[in-house]
Amino acid sequence: MSCGFEEDLTAYVDGELPPVRRAEVEAHLGTCGGCHATHALLRDAVARVAELPAFEPSPATRRAVLAKLDALPEPWWARLRALLRPAVLVPSAGLVAAVAVALVVVGSGSEAPPELADPAVMELAANLELAEDYELLGLDSAEDLEVVANLHELEVLQ
């Protein structure tokens, strides 16, 4: 049967109709045998479903989920935040400079003066960031230089 009210009967049982429509359905139920029977059927079904026993989920899920979170890669924003720490950023700027120097060296190819192939010079280029750290921080005492050179160790200890 389709009398225009049938579609609203479940919402009526659930108390989900606005007051005006609810009153209309109520009045209709007194006059329509089909809707009256369907309403009784729906009301009974809702009550029976509510009687079904509750499902108790496995307590092992909590452990499994937390283990999965531990295995997740760090999100990009956390990685970015880590990279933006001064202790990382400053040496990184030096590294970029070192890479730039290395690129110039490679890029200049055969025209490079022979002394740039010297291993000692290459070593200096690779460690430019340290030299830059000293300059940026305006340090001059041997003790301060020692601290800067071992910044990464301090970080690990924290």
> 3-class SS at 83?
helix
User: Closer to other proteins at the Cβ: 68 or 141?
Assistant: 68
User: Closer to other proteins at the Cβ: 17 or 128?
Assistant: 17
> Shortest Cβ distance from residue 89 to other proteins (Å)?
21
> Shortest Cβ distance from residue 3 to other proteins (Å)?
10
User: Closer to other proteins at the Cβ: 62 or 85?
Assistant: 62
> Shortest Cβ distance from residue 42 to other proteins (Å)?
5
The rounded distance, in Å, linking the Cα atoms of 103 and 107 is 6
User: Closer to other proteins at the Cβ: 16 or 144?
Assistant: 16
In terms of Cβ atoms closer than 10 Å to its own Cβ (0-12, 13-18, 19+), residue 70 is exposed
The rounded distance, in Å, linking the Cα atoms of 52 and 70 is 36
User: Closer to other proteins at the Cβ: 37 or 84?
Assistant: 37
> Shortest Cβ distance from residue 92 to other proteins (Å)?
23
The Cβ-side half-sphere exposure at 117, using a 13 Å CA radius, reads 7
- Chain residues that interact with other proteins, rule: CB under 8 A: 1-2, 6-11, 13-14, 16, 34, 37-38, 41-42, 44-46, 48-58, 61-62, 64-66, 68-69, 72, 75, 78
How many residues are listed for the chain in this entry?
A: 158
A 10 A CB-CB count for 104 gives: 12
> Shortest Cβ distance from residue 85 to other proteins (Å)?
16
- One-letter amino acid at 111 equals E
Tokens 């055969």 appear where? 110
